[in-house]
Amino acid sequence: MSIGAALNKSITGLQATQAGLSVISTNIAAANMPGYVKRELSVTDGGDGTHAPGVQSVTIMRALDVAAQALMRRASTQDGAAATRHEKLQQLDVMIGGPGSGQGVDAAFRSFSNALTAIANDRGNLGAQIGLTAAARKLVTSIDAFSRSIQTLRSQAEAEIVAGVDEVNGLTAQLASVNDELMRTPNNNDLLDRRDRLIDQLATLGDFNYAIGESGRATVTTRGGIMLVGIGGAAKLSFDAKGELGPQDLYSPDPAARGTGTIMVNGLDLLAGNHFNSGKLGALIALRDHDLAASQRMIDDLAAGLALAARDPAAAPDKALFLNGTLAFTATSRDDPQRIGLSQRLTLNPAYANAPEQVETIAGVGTDNVFAMITTRLSSTNFETRPGITKDASGQQTASSFVTRILTDHASVMAAAADDADAAQVAKRNFTTLFAGESGVDINAQLADMIGLQNAYAANANVIRTIKDMLDVLNSI
């Protein structure tokens, strides 16, 4: 190798090591910055007969593991869905009260059953009559409170969907802006980091598809293929929130029948096309339209079962213990619209509520010992129920067994949601760690690389110094 070639190789080597040290210092400084991807130096050498010996080009690139990144995002989407569902169902679990908890529908039903037994076994007892009235009122209040709690959670979900849609719109608008900047400065590392941070945030909200194209620009579509971010910019989602929801306010793909808000883009109902099946938004939609709606069906069915069982077929309908508002409830079909929201309309018959000490007298116009008969009907007379929160098929239930089913079904769903949330959290943590290990900054490794570059810098400097000394000797001859 000639002296000139050696000198050129050493000088370009110095420049490359300087660039490498600069990259390492940048990595260390940004090690804790969210979304920062480790930078690496790509060096092209000459000496191949076409180019002179030495470093020909130095490029700073991101050490991005695309496969690990995709796994991390998918885990974030599932974690967003599982954590949201678990949080909301936890609130529902507290409201319903577990078996033997002393609160909620189960406790109120047990008190009512005990009061019925007491009055049936001790006829004429004034305390038993007053106790039955109080227990019946408590049961109606508990059923109403649980139903209203369900609708409160549905209304909260509706409000959170609004916030989620706004968040999606904000992120997609920013992503479109980053795409525009990448058009002007293609594959700019800082812009690529910002692009990925925005996509990471989108991943927690919904199960979107992502693609990276020319210049590093991102394309985002829904699972159903609806474009949210593309070359033309960002599409804006809309949501026509309905505010506070009631039992009758249900989702329908038919706009005329729809009682809830829906996510729209360019006039298209995205919920009708199942474009949100995971992420936080997917979980909120499923809670509002499926889990909580099914829970409402169950409590309405329980109200129907009580109203049907706690009446004397031999007496006039207006002598029933429980009424549908001010009217007797006589609908036996599970599809009868009277069931919708019955849990909030179910009332203790004013005839009994206003004269608790005369309960037996008021009721004693039909079957002898009507309260013994009601006790039997609660545990032996079936009524039709609809599919519940566990998505089991509808069937025949007694009021007593259906109270137990409501509790066990909710407990089963709650346990499954807790398991799903734990599993999703672990998966997210593991895949985040995997991605960080491949594309994040390991300060110890960076410091070791820095020492290597410093040694290389010193070696190149020594070569240049030696060549200088040689030239000085030659010039002095």
CA-closest candidate to residue 165, choices 82, 240, 84 = 240
The rounded distance, in Å, linking the Cα atoms of 330 and 209 is 51
Predicted confidence (pLDDT) per residue in 375-395, tens digit: 999 999 999 999 888 877 668
Q: Is the pLDDT of residue 4 over 80?
A: no
Average pLDDT along the chain = 88
Helix, strand, coil shares, percent, the chain, to 5: 60, 10, 30
In this prediction, residue 179 carries a pLDDT of 96
Question: Model-level pTM?
Answer: 0.87
The rounded distance, in Å, linking the Cα atoms of 460 and 466 is 10
DSSP 55-70: EEEEEEEE---HHHHH
443 phi, psi to nearest 5 deg = -60, -40
The rounded distance, in Å, linking the Cα atoms of 52 and 54 is 6
Q: Which is it for the CA torsion 146, 148, 150, 152, positive or negative?
A: negative
Predicted confidence (pLDDT) per residue in 15-57, tens digit: 778 877 888 888 799 888 888 999 888 766 655 555 555 555 5
Range in 173-182, 187-196, 270-279, 438-447 with the lowest mean pLDDT? 438-447
The rounded distance, in Å, linking the Cα atoms of 392 and 196 is 42
CB 146 within 8 A of CB 104: yes
CA torsion, points 200, 203, 204, 207, in degrees to nearest 10? 180
Exposure string (b/e) for 121-152, b if CB count within 10 Å is 16 or more?
eeeeeeebbebbbbbbbbbbebbbbbbebbbe
The rounded distance, in Å, linking the Cα atoms of 322 and 320 is 5
Q: Is the pLDDT of residue 456 over 90?
A: no
The rounded distance, in Å, linking the Cα atoms of 302 and 384 is 10
Predicted confidence (pLDDT) per residue in 134-168, tens digit: 999 999 999 999 999 999 999 999 999 999 999 99
The rounded distance, in Å, linking the Cα atoms of 158 and 155 is 5
Q: Work out whether strand 238-239 and strand 209-212 pair parallel, antiparallel, or are unpaired.
A: unpaired
284 phi, psi to nearest 5 deg = -65, -40
Predicted confidence (pLDDT) per residue in 352-375, tens digit: 898 888 888 877 667 778 889 899
In this prediction, residue 476 carries a pLDDT of 75
pLDDT band at 237 (very low <50, low <70, confident <90, very high): very high
Q: How many CB atoms lie within 10 A of CB 65?
A: 18
Q: Is the pLDDT of residue 131 over 80?
A: yes
DSSP 362-381: HHTTSSTTHHHHHHHHHHH-
